[in-house]
Amino acid sequence: MAPRSVLSNLPPRTALYLLIGSGVVVLFVLLGIIPMQKHLLQQDSQIEQVKFRIEEQHALHPIYMKMLSIAQAGGVKAPKLPEKQSLGQKDVSELTDSMARLIVKTGLEAQSVVPDPSTLGKGSKALAVNIHVRGSLEQFRAFLGELAMMGSFENIETLRIAPGSGPRDYTVTVWVAAE
């Protein structure tokens, strides 16, 4: 004897009710539980984002309070940059010495300071100076600050920093205003 299906043993009306009931359960799962599960996952994601924002704001709060106190006290004043002025012919001839003094003042080792006289030709109002120094990043940062305070400083064309730790080599091409 071959096995008979369970539904074939049931009365037709009971089998029909069983099929309808199973269909309702499947529809309930497909239309109710699965969308609700997706919605809950989205809410979990939103909750995690809000938690992250709260932690971020908590971490940034001391910085905000410090900046607020500085602003209420009148703010931090940036140093006043000197008036722009061109170097005269005498100043151009002494440029190497003045740059060397500036380098020593910031604690760097001067490797070379070489003005490029070819940049002064044909009515040019600026002179390129190639500077090669050695020292720490803090000293170099101080050097750039002092350089910016020079009245004849125009801009930095190139800046190369040798990789490594400790004292590094820095090569800078600076433009200064010249007559």
pLDDT tens-place string over residues 42-67: 999 999 999 999 999 999 899 889 88
Domain count, the chain: 2
Of 72, 103, 121, which residue constitutes the final position of a domain?
72
Final residue belonging to a domain, choices 72, 106, 125: 72
Instruction: Show the domain range for 98.
Output: 89-177
pLDDT 10s digits, 82-129:
777 877 777 777 888 888 899 999 999 989 998 888 887 777 788 889
Residue 88 pLDDT: 77
Residue 1 has pLDDT above 50, yes or no: no
pLDDT band per the 50, 70, 90 thresholds, residue 34 = confident
Q: Identify whether 78 is part of a domain.
A: no
Nearest Cα to 134, choosing from 169, 163, 88? 169
Chain mean position to CA 89: 42
pLDDT category at 79 given cuts 50, 70, 90 is low
Report the CATH number that the domain containing residue 102 is assigned in CATH. 3.30.70.60
Q: Is the pLDDT of residue 71 over 90?
A: no
The answer to whether residues 66 and 94 belong to one domain is no
